[in-house]
Every structure is written in structure tokens, then in C-alpha cells.
Structure 1
């Protein structure tokens, strides 16, 4: 009986010590307008723990991760529709509560992309009456290519053939040849093919990757909107506005 009392006394006396050796991480997750984000994922990892630890925020956007060993941690905050935020070098100290608040930036989802080529008016990609693929400026800047067509060659349904250093032929839904004009090519709503020849000279289109804001490819017939020679689809190259992209690059 005396031995049992001694063991209980030792366990009782060591519990506060163990708790004091741990730290807590608390904070709040909001969007750019200051609105709390409910059920955002907050994950921490570091050399002091095995694997990862994580929680989700409550209805007020608050989170709390208890009993973290002292050390340096990396915090990852993610939420659908918002850019994932990663913060390194967060120190957790023994017996202290560390507070880190986060503000997430909204990003456009695929279904919320605005396109203009499917109906010749602005609309969401999900509302477009035709299948449409979009190559955004961030993807275009990452590719060092000589012709705008090389940005779309990996899209489903696109038939691409390279005929020279900067020359290429591309159509949608097959039937590719050197004089193929089945793919209507536009630059800022103007026809880009060689006049009267129905010939797409893609290497002669006077735009570079820095000039392009996005490329929209309509996969399917577009004669009702664009007239003849649009039986296979439309490639619309939309350039950046000079009012929103002043200056130049070297």
C-alpha cells in the first residue's frame, strides 16, 4: 500500500512538469476582407515531432494545437479557393502559447474562369456552351517557346506537328496538313491567318510570351459565331492591355 502511494505521488508530481515542457500554438485564419474562414486546415511539422500535427479552424476562424514540444516548426494553412500559405521558422517555447494569425488570398477556381471565345461575350467557363481550354499567363511565362501554338500542343484533342525551328501546324480534331486552315486563329478578335489563302502562319503572328495574357481554345465547330472555315475550333490569343502592363522587359 505504501509503495502504491509513493508511485501515485511521483506521477502526480511529474504531470505539471511534463505540461510545462510543452507549448501551444494558437491563432486565427481570415480572408483578405477580414472574414473568418471556417474549417481551414492548419498543419504543423518539425524535427521535434514525428510526422505532422493538424487541426481545422472553428466558426470564428480560430485554431489551437496543444502539447507541442519546444522547437522550430513549419505551418501550412490551406483552404479551398484560397492560396496555400506556408510559414517556416515558427518557434514554440516550453510553457508558452505562441500566436500566429494568417490572412489567405483568394484564387480563381477552374470553374470560375472567365472566357470570351465560346460565345463572344464574357462568361464563366462552366457556363460556356462549348468545351473550352484556357492557357493562363503564368503557364505561358514558364515556357520558352518561339510560337504561340506550342503552348496548346499538350491540350486534349489538339493535333500538333513541328515543321521547322519556329514553324508548326496545329488543328483541333485531326486532319492536319501544311495548308490546314480548319482551326480559326484570332488575335484580340481579329483573324490572324493569311488573307484569302486560309493559311495559318503561326510563326508570323506578331506576339511574344510576354505579350499574351491568355490563350483560349474552343474545341468544336464555331461557324455560327465566327463564319466559315471554323469547322474544327477556334484558337483565340488575347494580349495584355497596355493600361494594365505598362513598361517593358529585358
Structure 2
């Protein structure tokens, strides 16, 4: 009698566990669409697509298409953002149509933020010293083979090429292959060679995929960063994983 009762109970539990994953999959909502440039009508690659108030997100592919899965109930808001474009919010009410979003170009004149001038975020127009900034969009648009080569086109920067991968920047005064008076930082960390006491260009620096911006102080920065920065300094800022997915 006991064995007869246990068998149906085990069979019922097996059926419940078997149907749970099926029910969970039925609740998944698939959202897809395309993001384009409002002016050129061309698809945008690498646009961050995020559901507002959550950590669910994705990025657009080479054709501007995206696909996102979620378990949220309608309606919810999706946020589209990309460097150089104004963020846009789009309310999703159902899955009956393909989402088409066009982003507007954003003008950043006077709104750029720098951290090199006083070691804290501030507007580039309110900076107490002159700073030249090479942001991620300028790096992508530069015809130079690498972002470090693009520094040669920045106002007030002179570059000495000692070898194929060893470039020494200078912004003030003396310029020699071993520029002892120019400081190079990566996210605020000094990148001088331990034995030589000189910056090694980008030989030991981050790659172009990791660079978010480069800030150049063309004048003396020794008051804040010491005597090694008497000829100027370069601060290489890398991408934050909370803002960039690639």
C-alpha cells in the first residue's frame, strides 16, 4: 500500500519539474529593431541598448540591428545611447512591430569634462590650466594608424619617433629621445620606466580598444604632479566597464 502511494506522488512531481522550464521560456519576450543616424539614415554600430531601470542590455551589430530578451511586462522604456549622439528613450508597448530608432548628433562644445587639471571632474572651459582633449570619437575619426600617432595632430604637441613603436611626446621646451621632463599617466598612474625614469610612449600603455580619451596639458603641470611634469603631461583614460560594453 505504501509503495502504491509513493509511485503516483513521484510521477506528479516529475511532471511539475518537467513543465517548469517550459513555462519559464514562455514568459521570455524578444525585442528586436534597428538604430540609424537621423541625418545620414545609415545604421549605427555599437549603440548601447538598455532597458531603463534594469541591467538588461545589448549593443547593435554591424547593420545597426539588435535583439534583446527580457521577462518584464509591458510597457517598459528602452534607452539608446552612443558617444556623439543624444540619448533617446523609446517606450515599448508590445512585440507587434520592429523598433526603428533614429539618433540625433549631439554637439559637445563646452560640455566636455576633464580630470587632469585638478584631479577631479570639471568642465574643460572652467579648467584652471589649458588642456587639449582627444576623445573617443576624435580617435575613431583620426586617419593615424593608432591613437598615440594621432597626438601629433593635437595643438602644442611635438612627437619624436625613436622607433616603430616608441614615440616620445613633448609639449614645452626641450625635446630629446629620453624626455625626462614629460609625465605620462594611465588613469592617474605614472607609467615611467622604473630603471630609465622616462615615459616609454605607448610601448607599455593600453591598446586603442581600451582608450576612452587622452588629455594633454601643453604647459607645465609640476605644481600638481611634481617636477617630472615641468614640460607637460599626458593622461590616458581607459574605458569604464559600466559605460562601455566593448
Q: Deviations over 1:137-196 (max 9, x none)?
A: 012123475665312111222111212211112111131111112221000010011125
Q: CA deviation at 1:212?
A: 0.4
Q: Are residue 162 (structure 1) and residue 133 (structure 2) matched?
A: no
In the other structure, the counterpart of 1:68 is: none
Distance 1:104 1:240, change over 3 A: closer
The Cα offsets for residues 110-146 of structure 1, whole Å up to 9 and x where unpaired, read as: 2221100011111101100111110010121234756
Q: Report whether the alignment pairs 1:229 with 2:228.
A: yes
Aligned-residue offset at 1:104: 7.6
Tell whether the 8 Å contact from 1:134 to 1:217 is kept in structure 2 after alignment: yes
Q: Which residue of 2 aligns with 1:206?
A: 205
Measure, in 1, the Cα distance between the counterparts of 2:182 and 2:146: 16
Q: CA RMSD in A?
A: 2.7
- Contact 2:116–2:235 (8 Å) recurs in 1: yes
**Structure 2 CA distance for partners of 1:148 and 1:201, relative to 1, 3 Å:** farther
Q: Which range is displaced more, 168-177 or 139-148?
A: 139-148
Cα pair 1:148 1:202 within 8 Å, conserved: no
Partners of 1:203 and 1:144 lie apart in 2 by 18
Does residue 189 in structure 1 map to residue 179 in structure 2?
A: no
Task: Classify 1:228/1:146 alpha carbon distance in 2 versus 1 (closer, same or farther; 3 Å).
Answer: farther
Q: Which residue of 2 aligns with 1:30?
A: none
- Contiguous gaps of at least 5 residues in structure 1: 1-81, 84-102
* Residue in 1 that maps onto 2:123: 124
Q: CA deviation at 1:106?
A: 6.6
Runs of 4+ in 1 over 6 A off after TM superposition: none
Name the CA distance, whole Å, in 1 between partners of 2:203 and 2:172.
Answer: 23
CA distance in 2, matches of 1:106, 1:204: 35
Alpha-carbon contact 2:193-2:200 (below 8 Å) kept? yes
| 8 Å contact kept, 2:157–2:169 | yes
Q: Residue 241 of structure 1: CA displacement?
A: 0.8
Out of 201-210 and 217-226, give the one that drifted further: 201-210
Residues 104/137 of structure 1: CA separation in 2 closer, same or farther (3 Å cut): closer
CA contact (8 A) 2:181 2:227 kept: no
Normalized against structure 2, the TM-score is what?
A: 0.54
Deviations 1:64-91 (Å, cap 9, x if unpaired)?
xxxxxxxxxxxxxxxxxx98xxxxxxxx
CA distance in 1, matches of 2:120, 2:202: 28
